[in-house]
Structure 1
Amino acid sequence: MAPDPIADKNNASDGDTLIAWALLRAQKQWQDKRYAIASDAITAALLKSTVVTFAGRQVMLPGVKGFNLNDRLNLNPSYFIFPAWRAFAERTHLTAWRTLQSDGQALLGQMGWGKSHLPSDWVALRADGKMLPAKEWPPRMSFDAIRIPLYLSWADPHSALLAPWKAWMQSYPRLQTPAWINVSTNEVAPWYMAGGLLAVRDLTLGEPQEAPQIDDKDDYYSASLKLLVWLAKQDQR
């Protein structure tokens, strides 16, 4: 065995959030309190280790280490999983979860650059409250940020925060929607959305959704997006 088989020991707060939410849903489905107890342990750890107040806002860091740079935070707005935070608020009655929702939505309302007015995958929040694309990553709305409209739609399909997403997606024929856009230069990907990315597009625009068809063309991420979109549609019914 390698001397350090797990080189990256940092957590991923979106993964932790989804696990905790899945456990909470399992408790409701099968009435087994062990699932809820496990969920509560994860959400308590998230609040303790990844939720901070910065620039007058309460935010969830992408992980415990490496994202608080003193003069700024590096945030990934696709980690703002609003329907999960709402479920945690209903479960625990802790105001922290509701504050995360309201502050997260307020921040998203200020994240938008270039002609598309869309956020980048990674965003720097400065101590003075100003935001800009984080310099450590390409300034693109791409495979991370595509989850933003997924979670917004899941929480509220009529959210005003979906407006720039709808406008940008509707500006292209469905099968010619670019897979990403550089929000600084307005350059778009030379290839188009497919699979799970298209599923998120269709959900965002309120277009009809069939049961997910997952085949060999779908990698793990594409298949996951398709399944998450399907769950979102079930919850909206």
Structure 2
Amino acid sequence: VFPALEELAHASRAFPGRALVKTGLSLVRDARFGPAQLPADWIGLSASSPKPAQKFTPQFGYESIRIPLYLAWYSTDHPDLLETFSRQWKRSAGTKGLAVIELTTATATAAMPDPGYRAVANLVECSLGRPVNIEEVSNFSPTDYYPSTLHVLSLMAIAERYPTCLTGSL
């Protein structure tokens, strides 16, 4: 959670926030798998380099969707990492841009149609300096707990880091 690590580093000089952010960014760079170059929901670190965790399906989905959210919320300094998510979401446009992706083939296996998931995609687009669907982002209506939470967090990130995305004046 890059924004929280940054805030904790400001709150306490003893907290290794900068080192944790640096390590986290390296992990995001090194843990991109298959043709889609996306991180897995669960990653194993017992080998010399990160691998999808053995006892879990090698997929980008409901767990790893938080990675681009926190990365876009943290900074615009990593467009190369964020572009990977954007590119894959555009490939799976038939699912409104978001789907669970099987990593060995980059195949969409299940749609993620809830507005909360699309809010994450809009946050990423906004962080890359691209226009977003303001109505879709700003019209929050609770659905299930997890996607609703992602929607609220995406709105917080946009309001804090990219407020012009909510006005359409990029």
Superposition map of 1:1-237 within 5 A: 81-94=1-14, 96-126=16-46, 128=48, 130-159=49-78, 160-173=80-93, 175-206=95-126, 207-209=132-134, 210-215=137-142, 218-236=143-161, 237=163
Query: SS where residue 181 of structure 1 aligns?
Result: strand
Q: Deviations over 1:103-157 (max 9, x none)?
A: 11011101111111001001011253x1110012111100010110000000013
Q: How many percent identity over aligned positions?
A: 27
**RCO higher in 1 or 2 (8 Å CA, sep ≥ 6)?**
2
CA contact (8 A) 1:175 1:194 kept: no
**Which deviates the most, 159-168 or 135-144?**
159-168
Provide the C-alpha distance between the structure 2 equivalents of 1:87 and 1:227, rounded to a whole number of angstroms.
19
Paired residue type of 2:60: M
Aligned length: 154
Provide the C-alpha distance between the structure 2 equivalents of 1:192 and 1:144, rounded to a whole number of angstroms.
12
Paired residue type of 1:102: K
Shift of 1:229: 0.5
Q: Which of the two has greater helix per residue?
A: 2
Shift of 1:211: 2.4
Instruction: Label 1:205 to 1:143 Cα distance change in 2 as closer, same or farther (>3 A).
Output: same
Please tell me the root mean square deviation across aligned C-alpha atoms, in Å: 1.9
Query: SS where residue 162 of structure 1 aligns?
Result: helix
Shift of 1:205: 1.2
Q: Deviations over 1:136-179 (max 9, x none)?
A: 21111000101100000000134232121121122243753242
Structure 2 unaligned regions, length at least 5: 127-131, 164-170
CA contact (8 A) 2:68 2:120 kept: yes
Provide the C-alpha distance between the structure 1 equivalents of 2:75 and 2:47, rounded to a whole number of angstroms.
30
CA contact (8 A) 2:100 2:108 kept: yes
Paired residue type of 1:234: A
Instruction: Label 1:174 to 1:158 Cα distance change in 2 as closer, same or farther (>3 A).
Output: farther
Provide the C-alpha distance between the structure 2 equivalents of 1:235 and 1:135, rounded to a whole number of angstroms.
37
Greater gyration radius: 1
- TM-score, normalised relative to structure 2: 0.82
CA contact (8 A) 2:99 2:112 kept: yes
